[in-house]
Amino acid sequence: MSNKDIVRRFNKEVIEQSNHATFTELMHPDFVNHTAPAEANGADGMWHTFTKILKPSFPDLEVIIHDQISEDDKVVTRKSICGTHRGKLFDIEPTGKVIKIDIIDIVRLKDGQYFEHWGINTLQSVIKELATP
């Protein structure tokens, strides 16, 4: 399986489907998320974001991969997470609005697993949009 295939699998099975077995299989024990705050930059913090924040807020969420570039042990992915706001997101009650979070991720793989992550996204803009009546 290529590095791009691993990242595609992670996006579909972990982010979309909340498959914990796949998450465990694809996460290196020493994983570091350089984008997350220090207290949440390990694998548990990433799992929490997907299963306790995103999926409950957008139960129909879908990951759409637009582009991927792979070089050596890194994969860059430009993607969108789309879904309908049907659950509470932080302190924002469900609005029924359809959202799109644009994301660019860089994942460094080691032994076929996620070892490091860097990313930028438009979640803060989406939160502002949902909070606006």
Please report the pLDDT score of residue 85 as a whole number: 98
**Which pLDDT band holds residue 109 (cuts at 50, 70, 90)?**
very high
Percent with pLDDT over 90 in the chain: 93
Q: Domain total for the chain?
A: 1
Query: Which single residue is written with the structure tokens 């660019």?
Result: 104
Residue 8: pLDDT above 90?
A: yes
- Residue 116 and residue 32 in contact, taking contact as beta carbons nearer than 8 Å: yes
19 falls in which pLDDT band (50, 70, 90)? very high
Domain span including residue 55 = 3-131
Q: What is the CATH number of the domain that holds 22?
A: 3.10.450.50
- Evaluate if residue 133 carries a pLDDT over 90: no
